[in-house]
Amino acid sequence: MKKSFKALTGGLMAGGMLLSGLFAIPGQAEAANVSAKFGQTVNVPNQETVINKIIRTGKSLDGRAQYSHNYRPGKYMDCSQFMYYIFQKNGINIHTRDDDRQVKLGSYVPKSKIKKGDLIFYSTKRNKSDITHVSMYIGNGKVLHMANTKVDVTISNLNSSWHQENYVTARRVIK
């Protein structure tokens, strides 16, 4: 009996692994397990759908996730950990929770060409030598980000004075 049970469960697990590659898991983006590389954009089918799912994932954490440098996925995150998490939840591995490394992902986007899904990087340092914050452009002049310990997940105006004064660059990760 033990042998046949092991064979049955082993067969079910193997079949499940095969099927998981054929069918999308509900709640996962069509990007399923795409890996972002430094200096290259990620080509995903249904780009707009994937970007919208990433944005929805981020918005769903409003009131649930709190700003903290002690990463606990989905609960405690700083700005760059938040970006890592919402991309990861939608099948895109950006490999790092560090904003100084995230700024090397994808490709440069001039400020005048920013589009939905692009990452926006900021520095509060006088000489802009160190990236200190990251957000995601969500359209209509708005960015989604994990702001700070007082605000947590929020949507801000990219044209506000803080965002204008501290803006460094934008990067496109998904094409």
* pLDDT above 50 for 1: no
Confidence band, pLDDT 50/70/90 cuts, at residue 19: very low
SS3 at position 65: coil
- The mean-pLDDT minimum among 23-27, 41-45, 114-118, 130-134 falls in 23-27
Q: What's the mean pLDDT in 29-56?
A: 85
pLDDT tens-digit map of 53-101: 999 999 999 999 999 999 999 999 999 999 999 999 999 999 999 999 9
Which domains can be identified in the chain, with CATH numbers? 35-172 (3.90.1720.10)
Query: Which whole number is the average pLDDT over 11-32?
Result: 39
Side chain identity at 19, as an amino acid letter? Answer: L
- d(Cα 171, Cα 112) in Å, to the nearest integer? 12
What pLDDT sits at residue 18?
Answer: 33
Beta carbons of 8 and 1 less than 8 angstroms apart: no
Query: What pTM value is reported for the model?
Result: 0.81
β-strand pairing of 66-67 with 76-77 = parallel
pLDDT tens digits, 96-146: 999 999 999 999 999 999 999 999 999 999 888 899 999 999 999 999 999
